[in-house]
Amino acid sequence: MNHTIAFEIIQKYEPIEEVKRAHQMSFEGFIRYMGSSECLIFKPDCRRVYQDMTHPLNDYFISSSHNTYLISDQLLGPSDLWGYVSALVKGCRCLEIDCWDGSQNEPVVYHGYTLTSKLLFKTVIQAIHKYAFLTSDYPVVLSLENHCSPSQQEVMADTLQSVFGDALLSDILDDFPDKLPSPEALKFKILVKNKKIGTLKETRERKGSNKHGQVEECEEIYQAVEDEIEGSEALVSSENNPGKEIETISRGGLPLFKKRKVKVALALSDLVIYTKAEKFRSFQHSRLYQQFNESSSIGESEARKLLKLKVALNFQTPGLPMDLQNGKFLDNGSSGYLLKPQFLRDNKTQFNPNKPPKQSDPVTLTIRLISGTQLPPSSHSSSNKADTLVILELFGVPNDQTKQQTRVIKRNAFSPRWNETFTFIIQVPELALMRFVVESQGLIAGNEFLGQYTLPVLSMNKGYRRVPLFSKLGESLEPASLFVYVWYIR
C-alpha cells in the first residue's frame, strides 16, 4: 500500500485528531477501516457494470424468476405485488405473469387451478412500470403465461401499451432486423414474451393498423402425460431422421408431444418481437429449426434430465437455490445480466461440465477463516449462546463441488475464533460460487442456520476481508460478519 492510499485511509477512518495529524492510525481507526465497505470480500469493481454489454442477449446469463407474483405457498398462498417489486429491486430481469380471464373483462394474475389469491393484470403492470429500472437500466422481459381469451388478450395489449408507452418494444430495432440486440441496445426497454403469429416482417407491415377483433389460431406444441398420448400420434425429435418430426411412438418413447390449436389476439401477438415463446422439444430440434427471436422455457424435471441442475426459481422461496441466484447476480453491478464465459459463447467449443475444459485455467483458492463478529444467537439455546461453526461450500461444475467446515466453538456467537485454513483447487472458476454458511451445532434436531453469504469466486477480493452475513430470507444481519484472509493463484 503506497503512502497516498494509507494517508487517505487515515483521513477517512481515524477518529482521534492528534493521531490523524501524526499520520498514524489508532486501534479504533483500524477497526473502523476493517468494518467499512472498502474491506468487504466482494470486489468494488464488481459492484458496477464492468462487462461488455454489446453482445447479443443470448450471450448473457439473465436473472429470471418463476411465479413471480407469489410470496409464499404456491397452492394456497397470497399473490402480491411485492413479489414483483422485490424481484426487480434484487435485479431480476425476467418476470413471469400467469394471466387468466377475470370478471368485467379485466385479466387477472394468479397461479391457475389453485387457491392462491388474484391480482389485476393492470395493477401488476403498473407496479412493474414503477420499479422496472430502479436497480438496473437493462431490459426487462415479461414472460406471459397466457391463458386468456382473445378479448382479454386485447385488454392486456392495451394495458401494456398505455402503461409502458415508448418503453415497450413493439418493433424490431433497425440495426437488428435478423439477430438479437444487446442489453446495451435495449436499455430501459420492456420486452413481451408470448405466443406469436407470423413473422417480424409481417408485424412491421401491420404497424399502426387497427387490430381490434383480429384473432388467429396457431399450433402449440405441448408435452403430454403418458396416459393422455397412449395410442395417439405425438411429436418427438428423431435422432436417426432429423428432417422428420412427426412420428407415431410407443408408450416407452420419450419425450411425448402433442399439438393443439390456440387463439391469439393479433394486438398482443404483434407486441412480441425478440422473445417469441416456443415449446422446447430437444437440443437437436433447436439447432435445426429455432429462429433467432424464439426462446424456450424448460421445466425443472426436464432440465434435471438435460443438465442435472435446477433452473426455475421462485424468488419468494428462501434457501440454497435463491442464495446461489442472488450470489451469482451480485456481479456486474447487480444488473441482472452476466456475460457468459467464452467457452459458453463459442459454438465451436465442446464444453462438457463433467470434464475439465482443454483450455482450463484452474484456480487454487486459499481461505483462512480467522474469526466471527456478533454472529446471530441460537434460538434453540435457553441462554442464546450458539455453538458456532462455518461451512465453506463451493458450487460449480460437478468436479468443483465440495465443502469443508471449521471446528465448533462452544457457547460463543459474539467473537468466535477459528484460525483455520482451507484450500480449494477449482477447475472452472468462471462458473464457481463460494458460499459461507454459519451454523450452530445441534446434537438432536440438527444444526441451526444462523447466516450465509454467497458470491462468485472470481469476484472475491484478496487479502484480509470481511464477509457480511444474510438471513435465510436474504436480509442483512449487520454487524454480524466473518473475518477472513483470501488468496488465490492461477
Cα end-to-end distance, the chain, whole Å: 23
Lowest mean pLDDT among 374-383, 397-406, 413-422: 374-383
Active-site residues, by number, are 66, 111
The amino acid at residue 10 is I
Residues 320-353 pLDDT 10s: 988 999 999 999 999 999 999 998 898 887 888 8
Residues 428-469 pLDDT 10s: 999 999 999 999 998 888 899 999 999 999 999 999 999 999
C-alpha closest to that of 490 among 402, 365, 394: 365
Residue 316 pLDDT greater than 70, yes or no: no
d(CA 61, CA 55): 12
Instruction: Please check whether residue 86 is in contact with residue 317, taking contact to mean a CB–CB distance below 8 angstroms.
Output: no
pLDDT band at 281 (very low <50, low <70, confident <90, very high): confident
C-alpha closest to that of 248 among 231, 263, 260: 231
C-alpha closest to that of 6 among 18, 29, 453: 29
For the chain, percent of residues with pLDDT exceeding 90: 61
When comparing pLDDT for 8 and 82, which is higher? 8
Residues 136-192 pLDDT 10s: 999 999 999 999 999 999 999 999 999 999 999 999 998 888 899 999 999 999 999
Lowest mean pLDDT among 65-69, 330-334, 416-420: 65-69
Residue 246 pLDDT greater than 50, yes or no: no
Q: What pLDDT sits at residue 378? A: 87
Give backbone dihedrals phi and psi of 406, rounded to 5 degrees, phi first. Answer: -85, 175
Most confident of 83-97, 151-165, 194-208, 241-255: 151-165
pLDDT band at 290 (very low <50, low <70, confident <90, very high): confident
Q: What pLDDT sits at residue 442? A: 87
HSE-CB of 245 using CA atoms within 13 angstroms = 12
